């Protein structure tokens, strides 16, 4: 057997084994996604049969504290605070902005707004940044406790980021549902960014499904609702209970995804969380809107932090709920599915390259190319059907939320999302590995863009 034949045999073997491994992995993931779609359909039918009336938003708002952690946010925090004050209007709320002593530009931007409105409270933490977002939030919690001791009560804490465009009615939604719930999460809708229709645009597709379907399924199954870190409100009593269980610090400073873990903690303490998709009088969905990373590098960094905090470190820190329901274990498994899905995706691309080399090699050698046997052929056909269904679902949810142009762009963005996921996985391992040696987690943030006045009107 010559060198050429041996080389072709090796390539054929790699292509065949990689394809089989990836096909089985895709089949498992595809069935999992299909079951979620089925559960969503059942949840929608049950909701229509119950015909639950929307809650009135006319109730007097509760006194609330809005927490906004800000590290290196001088470019956006001033505009964000002014827009938030204008959209909230008059009301019983205070906005706490957490900053760091080694970030004078952000401090100055917050102080400028605070000088014109006493509801904005500048909080300068004791530790130079960046630490973690949770550590910054804990500094704001301590500031809130001081204000409460001075006679300023608070009924709920609202979480937002420095780039968020809040909805004018969100505080009223929180007030309506916190009467009999311990926490409320609103949908997040990324803004379409003309500068980056593919990279920034893939967030439109993911959140359209995540907050248009997946969280609805979680709620229907009775599983814990993880917070998005923005557009969520936690009752003061519940957050106080969490603080008491953590030596006075409600947010775990060692976590990279404190928002995700906080939602699970509320459920573990017996609290009730509600994911609310409500509409304003104009018909607009009451949601948090923001621009997401527009460059490949920024998207990879953000996705790596999410992957590290939820799928890697989150598995260590949160584990599986003892005595939890089937739905709870299923949802946590899906949260950590990336640890298996990304290697499968990488091997699938290896299989594509190997099959391409095999076809070229056999063509040059004048020998017939190998073909999959019948069982593997059926497996590939089933996977093709599942892939078509998955793309159709993404198009449907993106189109329902953002229109037909974005729905069409959702198709090529599938490949972009895969690329970002692969690159983020490599970075996530690099971030996670030092934490196993005891190194502290750090805030790996990305630069933000806040919409100008004309964009907000649009």
Q: Alpha helices, DSSP H only, in 269-325?
A: 296-306, 313-318
Does 59 have pLDDT greater than 50? Answer: yes
Higher pLDDT, 6 or 14: 14
Higher pLDDT, 75 or 367: 75
- Single out the residue of 14, 3, 10, 4 nearest to residue 367, CA to CA: 4
The pair of structure tokens assigned to 233 is: 């409100």
pLDDT of residue 367: 85
In this prediction, residue 213 carries a pLDDT of 97
Q: Is the dihedral of CA 168, 171, 175, 177 positive or negative?
A: positive
Q: Where are the domains of the chain?
A: 1-458
Q: Count how many Cα atoms sit within 13 Å of the Cα of residue 352 in the half-sphere of its side chain.
A: 6
Is residue 340 exposed (0-12), middle (13-18) or buried (19+ Cβ within 10 Å)?
A: middle
In whole angstroms, give the CA distance from residue 346 to residue 352: 10
Helix (H, G, I), strand (E, B) or coil at 388: helix
**Which band of pLDDT confidence, cut at 50, 70 and 90, is reported for residue 457?**
very low
Q: What is the pLDDT of residue 448?
A: 81
CA distance 80 to 76: 6
DSSP state of 447: -
* Residue 67 DSSP symbol: E
pLDDT one-digit tens code per residue, 238-252: 999 999 999 999 998
* pLDDT of 307: 84
Q: CA 262, CA 242: separation in Å to the nearest integer?
A: 9
CA angle 290, 296, 298 (to 5 degrees): 55
The burial class, CB within 10 Å (0-12 / 13-18 / 19+), for 6 is exposed
Whether residue 316 is predicted with pLDDT greater than 90 in this model: the reply is no
Q: How far apart are CA 70 and CA 302, in angstroms?
A: 16
Cis bond leading into 249, ω under 30°? Answer: no
Task: Report the alpha-carbon distance of residue 20 to residue 346 in Å, rounded.
Answer: 13
319: pLDDT confidence band, cut at 50, 70 and 90?
low
Helices and strands (H, E) in the chain, number of each type: 16, 9
* pLDDT (0 to 100) of residue 398: 98
Cα separation of 314 and 306, whole Å? Answer: 10
Backbone angles phi, psi at 80, to 5 degrees: -65, -45
Cα separation, 185 vs 94, whole angstroms: 19
Q: How confident is the model over 325-338, as pLDDT tens digits?
A: 888 889 988 988 88
Between 169 and 7, whose confidence is greater? 169
Find the farthest-apart pair of alpha carbons in the chain and give their distance in angstroms, rounded.
Answer: 88
* CATH architecture observed for domain 1-458: Alpha-Beta Complex (3.90)
* Band of pLDDT at residue 306, cut at 50, 70 and 90: confident
Residue 172, helix vs strand vs coil: helix
When pLDDT is cut at 50, 70 and 90, the band that residue 453 belongs to is: low
Average pLDDT over residues 395-406: 96
DSSP state of 121: E
pTM: 0.90
Helix (H) or strand (E) holding 375: helix 374-402
Residue 357, class by beta-carbon neighbours within 10 Å (0-12 exposed, 13-18 middle, 19+ buried)?
middle
Integer angstrom CA distances of residue 98 from 121, 128, 289, 299: 9, 12, 21, 24
Confidence of residue 88 (pLDDT cuts 50, 70, 90): very high
The pair of structure tokens assigned to 33 is: 């996604």
């Amino acid at each position: 057997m010559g060198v050429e034949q041996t080389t072709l045999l090796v390539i054929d073997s790699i292509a065949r084994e990689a394809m089989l491994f990836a096909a089985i992995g895709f089949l498992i993931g595809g069935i999992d996604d299909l079951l979620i779609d089925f559960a969503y359909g059942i949840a929608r039918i049950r909701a229509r049969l119950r015909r639950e009336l929307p809650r009135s938003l006319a109730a007097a708002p509760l006194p609330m504290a809005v927490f906004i952690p800000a590290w290196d946010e001088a470019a956006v925090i001033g505009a964000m605070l002014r827009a938030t004050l204008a959209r909230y209007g008059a009301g019983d709320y205070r906005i706490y902005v957490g900053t760091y002593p080694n970030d004078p530009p952000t401090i100055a931007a917050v102080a400028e707004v605070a000088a014109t409105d006493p509801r904005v409270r500048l909080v300068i933490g004791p530790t130079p940044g960046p630490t973690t977002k949770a550590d910054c939030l804990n500094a704001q919690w301590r500031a809130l406790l001081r204000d409460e001791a001075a006679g300023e009560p608070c009924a709920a804490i609202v979480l937002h980021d420095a780039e968020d465009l809040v909805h004018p009615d969100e505080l009223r939604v929180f007030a309506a549902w916190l009467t009999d719930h311990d926490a409320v999460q609103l949908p997040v809708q990324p803004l379409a960014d003309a500068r980056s229709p593919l990279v920034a645009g893939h967030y439109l597709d993911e959140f359209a499904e995540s907050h248009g379907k997946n969280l609805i399924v979680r709620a229907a199954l009775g599983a814990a609702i993880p917070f998005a870190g923005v557009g969520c409100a936690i009752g003061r009593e519940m957050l106080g209970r969490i603080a008491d269980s953590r030596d006075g610090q409600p947010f775990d400073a060692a976590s990279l995804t404190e928002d995700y873990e906080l939602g699970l903690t509320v459920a573990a303490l017996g609290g009730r969380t509600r994911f609310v998709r409500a509409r304003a009088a104009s018909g607009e969905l009451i949601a948090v809107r923001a621009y997401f990373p527009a460059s490949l590098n920024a998207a990879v960094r953000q996705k790596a932090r999410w992957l590290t905090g939820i799928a890697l470190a989150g598995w260590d820190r949160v584990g599986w709920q003892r005595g939890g329901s089937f739905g709870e274990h299923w949802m946590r498994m899906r949260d950590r599915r990336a640890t298996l899905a990304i290697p499968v995706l990488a091997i699938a691309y290896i299989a594509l390259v190997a099959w391409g080399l095999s076809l070229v090699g056999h063509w040059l050698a004048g020998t017939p190319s190998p073909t999959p046997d019948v069982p593997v052929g059926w497996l590939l056909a089933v996977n093709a059907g599942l892939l078509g269904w998955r793309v159709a679902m993404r198009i449907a949810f993106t189109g329902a939320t953002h229109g037909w142009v974005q729905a069409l762009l959702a198709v090529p963005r599938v490949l972009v999302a895969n690329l970002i996921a692969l690159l983020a996985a490599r970075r996530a391992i690099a971030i996670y590995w030092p934490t196993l040696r005891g190194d502290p987690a750090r805030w790996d943030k990305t630069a933000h863009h806040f919409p100008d006045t004309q964009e907000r009107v649009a």
